[in-house]
Structures are given as structure tokens and as C-alpha cells.
Amino acid sequence: MIMRRTPANEILIATDLGTQKMTVAVAEMAADGSLTLLGVGESASAGMRKAEVTDFNHARAAARMALAEAERRTQAEISEVYLTLSGTHLSSRNESVRVATLSEDENRVTEDTLEELNKLASNLQLNRDHAILHELLRGYSLDRGVASNHPLGVHTEQIEAHYHLVSGKRTRLQTAVQCVADQKIRVKGCTFSGYASGLAVLGEEARNRGSVVVDMGAGVTDVTVWRDDAVVHSAVHGVGGDHLSQDLSIGLEIPYARAEKLKRECGGLVLDPAERDEMINLAREISFDGKTFYKEAMVQILQARTAEILELIRDDLEQQNLWGAVETDVVITGGGARMRGLARLASEILPRPVRIGRARDFLGEQGDLERPELATVLGTLRYAAECERRDAGQTQGWRKIQKSLGRMVSAMRFLA
């Protein structure tokens, strides 16, 4: 993802293979780690369904178009990228590993101790067809269960590390990586899209006090729960904006393409009193006789499906007993967050305050930074920046960063 280096900066590139759009973001990282967005390349997706590749050649061609557009807009020569991954084949679980004997230095926790814990986590048993995408460190426990976020140097007889593991079907991860990788471009690392979105839209306080991030995409909805600066739960639900368009197509008896356009241009989840008797007229065109209907009918259809998605999220977190860990709010981002009235509807269904989230703490073109649909790709830039700083030895206290960001996993791990 790094194209060129100077003593002052690095150029980083993130790629998101979305159900509806391929997106490539280019940023400059300064010596202090700050990121300036240089530009975004986009193209309509092809060969994608529910955030997964279904037609390799079409998806690869669409990704190439987005990469070329990013190069054109930023004048960056792309040779390495970080890739965002999602899909319902991803799964997650919390696991713990421990070592009983620490070191000869009076049972003192050393760097070797922590590295041994990392190795144990990476070797945890998975389904044979799965590969680990993330081992996200949640924290440590010392003797008698004493919690510690920074155990280096502490004396203890045993130490336990707690991880949130995200894994996916190996063949599907391979396919996504190979959509981008070729003789010119190397996929240097991969990250779960829901995790990346959280890195983009949450500040330190929200990550520590407990927040839920909901990324509503076209094909899937990613959810992550953050507490104590770590991910404690994640999920991918196989519903998204495409389902709203499909419902409009069926309910209003209009072509899918017209339903999608209607959702983007007129869609909303609230109806002002003055709009109650408002009519929408769709003009006649080839293979479509036109249609006239009340705007209220459209809003009711969109409300029903959106409420269903929100109730699915609410019930999942209730079953996991996670709402008690959420002291702040629910942050909704992604393309679905553009729907007018979403925060109001979500606040009626979810047991915490709701706000729409956009990328934080970036410099550069504010127009792009304000777009919630870019949260995932911008969060991937932040993930990449921390990985690059770690690899360059620029980051002090890597264990602290590792706690919030997790260990970078090379894309080649999926290709083994």
C-alpha cells in the first residue's frame, strides 16, 4: 500500500471491494502518524454479491477501474495496498490463552512472554477451511484474575491473554485478495470492514467506555462492539441497502433499477405532515409503463425493512448480554447511513442513543471525509498507518497499539 517514501511521508492506499461500489483511498502519512486524504477512486461494482466475489473476472475489472481512477486523481503509483474484507462467511469468537511459567527473572512478564501468548492465539484451532483474519487483543489477566492492560515488567506466576478472533473461509479470502493482486500490485495486509469502520468513526473515549458501530452497506451490515479500547464482539448480517431496493421493487411493482434510484434520490424513513398526501410519479420508459403512488407508501416499505435490520442487531446484542458494556452510543455509518431519518428510527428501536458516524481526525478533502460510505476504506488507511509505523519501529509501546488495532495479518497467510 505504500507507493513511494520520502523522509517526511509515506503514501498509503486502501481498497474496499463493496457490493455496489469499488473504492480506493490514497493518503499521506506524516512522521507523527497523522493522515491527509489525497483522493478517492471509485467505480461501480461488478461480480459482487453480499460483499463477496461471485464473478472473478468482472470483479477484478471493476477493481482495476477504481485503482486506475485513484492513480489518476492522486498521481500515486500504486504497487501495494491494504484490502478490506467482509461477507457472511466471516465469523468471530472470544478466546483466551495462558502461560504458567514466565521467565527466570523472578516470574517477570517480558516481551518474550507476550510474544508466546500471541503465538498461542495464532495457533488456536479453527475449522479446516477457515483462516484467521484478526487476533485482536482485549487485555490480560494476571494471578487471581487481576486485569492488566500493560503487564510488561509485572511479576506474576501466570498470565492469560484474551483475544477477539475474526476468521473467514480461506477460499473466499483468497479470491478477494487475488482480485486485486497481480504482478504489479501486492496486497500487503487485510482487515475486517466492520473493524476498519470503528477505527474511522470512534474516538478514544467511545472505544473505552463502550460503543456499537453499525456499518450498513449495500449487501451486508457489519457490527462491532467496542469496550476498553478493544473489540469484544463482531458480526456480519446478510442484509443491507440492496434489500430495501428489492422491497421497493416488489411493493411498488417497479423495476429494480428504478427502485434503487428512487431510494437514493427520494428515500427516507420519516414523513413530514406536509408530505402525507404527496404523490411520486415515475415516468414511462421502455418495458415500464410508469407508476404513480403516495410517498407514504415508499416510506412505509423502507421503514419496515430498516426496522427489521435494527431489531436483528438489537436482539443479537441482547442474546450476547452486551448492551450493559455500551455506555456511550450506537454509531451508524456506511452508505445506508445516508437515509434521512435513520438516527430517529434507530433511537426508537435500540436501547442507546444513536448518531450518524463519519471519519474522524483526517486532514484533506472534507467533502470525501464527510461521506459515511467511505468510513470503511478510510478506517483501513488508519489500520495501515499503524501497521506501517510498527514495522518501521516508529511506534513506542506497541503493545498498547496492538491492543486496539490487533496484529497485522499478511494477505499471503490466506494464500498458503
Domain boundary among 129, 149, 167: 167
pLDDT at site 4: 44
pLDDT at site 7: 46
Cell numbers describing residue 141: 489477566
pLDDT at site 411: 54
Residue with cell 467511545: 206
Low-confidence ranges of the chain (pLDDT < 50): 1-7, 394-408, 412
The answer to whether residue 335 sits within a structural domain is no
Indicate which CATH number applies to the domain containing 256.
3.30.420.40
Domain boundary among 167, 197, 218: 167
pLDDT at site 104: 61
CA distances from 358 to 106, 215, 336 (A): 48, 11, 12
pLDDT at site 414: 57
pTM of this structure:
0.91
The answer to whether residue 260 sits within a structural domain is yes
pLDDT at site 217: 97
Instruction: Give which of 188, 216, 214, 191 is closest to 201, Cα–Cα.
Output: 214
Q: How far apart are CA 114 and CA 148, in angstroms?
A: 13
Indicate which CATH number applies to the domain containing 126.
3.30.1490.110
The answer to whether residue 81 sits within a structural domain is no
pLDDT at site 50: 95
pLDDT at site 8: 58
How many domains does the chain contain in total? 2
Sign of the CA dihedral with 223 first, then 90, 198, and 215 last: negative
Note the residue count of the chain.
416
Q: How far apart are CA 240 and CA 334, in angstroms?
A: 10
Domain span at 255: 241-305
The answer to whether residue 262 sits within a structural domain is yes
The answer to whether residue 75 sits within a structural domain is no
Condensed to tens digits (0 to 9), the pLDDT of residues 220-254 reads 999 999 999 999 999 999 999 999 999 999 999 99
The answer to whether residue 408 sits within a structural domain is no
The answer to whether residue 78 sits within a structural domain is no
The answer to whether residue 21 sits within a structural domain is no
pLDDT at site 405: 42
Domain boundary among 167, 193, 209: 167
